[in-house]
Amino acid sequence: MDNQQKTKFIQIGLFIITLVTTTFAGVEWTIGKFVITGLTWDEFLYGFNFSIPFLLILTVHEFGHFFTARYHKIRVTLPYYIPMWFGFIGMPTIGTMGAFIRIKEHIASRIKYFDVGVSGPIAGFVVAIAFLIYGFQTLPETEYIYEIHPEYEVFGENFEERMEGLDTLILKKDLNPERMAYETLPDTIDTGREGSVSFGDNILMNLGRSYLAPDDRYVPSSKELMHYPILLAAYLAFFFTALNLLPIGQLDGGHVLFGLFGEKNHGIISRVMFTAFLFYAGLGWVTTADLINNSIESLASFLLSIGVYLFIVYWSTASVFKEKQNRILYATVMFTLQFFIASIFKVEGYTGWLLFSVLIGRFIGVDHPPVIDNQPLSVGRKVLGWVALIIFILSFSPQPLVIEGI
């Protein structure tokens, strides 16, 4: 077996493994049952309702890059899929970290960089929109969610609204009946929501809820979206599309930015966008509220949190500043502004983005490789570039996954 055959064997193997792991993830999210506890064959097959649309969107995205690269006669590999499943330790995942193609030569043209970068997100986005429409148009009736959460049935069709105002997750009749306002409850009800996982909204999901669903009663809230596999696949596709289209560095959005504005302006805009992204990610990491308890332990924890955050910012800006003293100054100013703004205005960002800030700033980089052929884009390509940036705005969720009480 030669190297080319070995590579194809690895790629096919990774795809099959990823298909299995995303199917497992689909079962765990939609049914709420971990694979390690045992699955029936029907339950495993149900997981394909998530894995097939999700991997189809991902595959179309990657082949958008692949065929565009081949069109420009750029040597490129077929996609490598990255399986990732932690269900065996009781941790839910989506079954994959995505996929990538490897470009095997330097791209010397600004136009080619733009074409390869923009083609994947737009191709995948079109398919994701189709699944979004289908998912909202074919919503099951409320009985579907009762099969997964039979404890919700006592609250009636509008169970989400009636559960929203509860101060406790375990309801008892001996609590103030006027405040609870539920006369028909049994003595004890376990809502099954000791921990809450919700998927953040973006513009497209909001539009879908408002205009695509034939009956508002069946529209899932952000806390129940996980049980609707096609909608979950579309939502995650939008998340990855937005992440890829961040106009920073060598991400797909960075290639679009480079094509639209050129190397010099790319460097400026990329750094501004990275700073804004990192600023939002760390907003509220530490505030004056963390010093309410005037104990030594509280102060030590406060100072440790500051030290950890300063290191994260310092470490993630390796591609922004070459000099260590500039990174230290950047981290100090960043933290100071975040601390006072979050403390005074009581605003909070999304710490989950810090991981992506490190990946971008430390490993991917905020700059773009130079090109020999710097010919500007045609009008048609410029329009397509702005369409891609609009897709980023429509798909981006400020808080994509929120976990409470776990």
- Check residue 104 and give its pLDDT: 92
Dist. CA 398–CA 200, nearest whole Å: 7
- Any idea which residue has 């809502």 for tokens? 191
- In this predicted structure, the answer to whether residue 332 has a pLDDT above a threshold of 60 is yes
* Structure tokens that stand for 7 in this block: 């590579």
- 3-class DSSP state for residue 368? coil
Q: Are 227 and 216 in contact (CB under 8 A)?
A: no
160 band by pLDDT with thresholds 50, 70 and 90:
low
Dist. CA 376–CA 54, nearest whole Å: 35
Q: What are 262-286's pLDDT values in tens digits?
A: 999 999 999 999 999 999 999 999 8
Q: Model pTM?
A: 0.89
Mean pLDDT confidence for 22-27: 94
Give the start-to-end residue ranges of the domains of the chain.
159-191, 284-345
Q: Which residues pair with 171 in a beta bridge?
A: 189
* Structure tokens that stand for 188 in this block: 């004890």
Q: Name the residue type at position 58.
A: L
195 band by pLDDT with thresholds 50, 70 and 90:
low
- In this predicted structure, the answer to whether residue 246 has a pLDDT above a threshold of 90 is yes
Question: DSSP assignment, residue 351?
Answer: T
- Check residue 297 and give its pLDDT: 79
- In this predicted structure, the answer to whether residue 197 has a pLDDT above a threshold of 90 is no
Average pLDDT, the chain: 88
DSSP state letters, 82-143 = EE---GGGT----SEEEEE--B-S---BHHHHHHHHHHHHHHHHHHHHHHHHHHHHTPPPTH
- Check residue 119 and give its pLDDT: 98
3-state helix, strand, coil in the chain (%, to 5): 60, 5, 30
Q: What are 356-403's pLDDT values in tens digits?
A: 999 999 999 999 999 999 999 999 999 999 999 999 999 999 999 887
Dist. CA 278–CA 350, nearest whole Å: 10
- Check residue 397 and give its pLDDT: 96
Phi-psi region of 178 (alpha: psi -120 to 50; beta: other; left: phi over 0): alpha
Dist. CA 28–CA 93, nearest whole Å: 9
**Dmax over Cα atoms in the chain, in whole Å?**
76
Dist. CA 152–CA 145, nearest whole Å: 8
* Structure tokens that stand for 238 in this block: 């939008």
87 band by pLDDT with thresholds 50, 70 and 90:
confident
